[in-house]
Structure 1
């Protein structure tokens, strides 16, 4: 059987579980789906140490075993807990699933299943690109002139004449090719 991606590539940094969040981003890109602090953990069985010793419920890929059970004990779970202490062959598949759901929120395959969040990111990116495109089209159609006046031939010729007059005697630029005595371009 293949190991989980999180076990093959464990996180480099530890997550802080002191803050009360229902969804926390991890440095590796994974999310802690549920985190229950001490306030919400009251009345739940403590079954282990947890990831850092806190008595809190966490769904995490890098540490699969939460310190407390997912659900509080009730009449159904009490009967199943008594039943599980005997031979497990007497438990039905439905009883085993119910026991599992009292201890954990999700199975590993449910936890690693794709969420479809990439669709939101693609839609947001497409929206930003389309708004930028429409803004650029708006500027080109309604704000900027069709052709700037500096692109017109009359303007370019006037600019060259201005350089010729101001740069008389210069050895670079258009003045170098202008014959000032005959008032024409050198041949």
Structure 2
């Protein structure tokens, strides 16, 4: 940190002057950056060398303590320098809470934020479905008659009549004399004969 401060002094000054304000003008609640480090004890390098408190699962030791020293913790800090057997359980918990924001169990505990994410995802899906339904009902024109099954069957029947005399394909199975076979029956026989041939 010292080398970075000497090499880039303007960057250091700028990082101390700027902050991350929200639209309301207040600092972001969970940002414990250099501007909030004033008065906190520097205890180590941290994960990147900055004077910032960050709870991270991959690097659990921040560079500064979570809370500033006050009249409550000073006598316990003096007792901490001696034998730890003289510290009570409450003193040890207080020392921990002044150094860290939360325990590892609290850090890994589920936050319930998945409910918000799931609600947002389902809302987007439902809005997209409603939009698609609205577009298909009120905006797109009616499907042309060529997509109806009756039209397709008549078109196929016309094709069969025009291809009369072919000895390959579906016309081979059509009864031209009676003209009573349904086109679907002709197609069924044609497809089943192709499966047998394979």
Give the TM bin, normalised by the shorter chain.
0.5 to 0.7
- In the alignment, the residues of structure 1 paired with residue 109 and residue 152 of structure 2 have an alpha-carbon distance, to the nearest angstrom, of 65
Structure 2 unmatched runs, 5+ = 1-14, 22-28, 165-175, 178-198
Answering whether residue 88 of structure 2 is matched by residue 88 of structure 1, we say no
1:177 aligns with 2:163: yes
Q: Secondary structure at the match of 1:58?
A: coil
In 2: Cα distance, 1:48 partner to 1:156 partner: 78
1:43 to 2:39 alignment: yes
Between 1 and 2, higher relative CO (CA 8 Å, sep ≥ 6) is seen in 1
Equivalent-residue separation in structure 2 for 1:114 and 1:153 (angstroms) = 55
Query: What residue ranges of structure 1 are gaps of 5+ in the alignment?
Result: 1-17, 23-32, 165-172, 179-185
Of residues 103, 109, 117 in structure 2, which corresponds to 1:107? 103
* Contact 1:47–1:69 (CA under 8 A) maintained in structure 2: yes
In 2, the alpha carbon distance for the partners of 1:134 and 1:100 equals: 52
Q: Give the whole-Å Cα distance in 1 for the aligned partners of 2:67 and 2:109.
A: 22
Higher strand share: 1
Could you state the TM-score of these two structures normalised by the residue count of structure 2? Answer: 0.57
Instruction: Point out the structure with max Rg over C-alpha.
Output: 2
2:65 is matched with which residue? 69
Q: 1:153 to 1:88 in 2, by over 3 A?
A: closer
Quote the residue 2:116 is aligned against.
120
Offset of residue 21 of structure 1:
6.3
**Is 1:20–1:35's contact at 8 Å kept on the other side of the alignment?**
no
Q: Per-residue displacement from partner, 1:131-171 (whole Å, max 9, x unpaired)?
A: 122223323443445653434689779989xxx9xxxxxxx
Q: Could you say what the CA RMSD is over the residues aligned between the two structures, in angstroms?
A: 3.7
Distance 1:137 1:37, change over 3 A: closer
In 1, Cα distance between the equivalents of 2:149 and 2:65? 82
Tell me how far apart the structure 2 counterparts of residues 74 and 47 of structure 1 sit (CA, whole Å): 17
Q: Scaled by the length of structure 1, what TM-score is found?
A: 0.60
Q: Measure how far apart 1:56 and its partner are.
A: 2.0
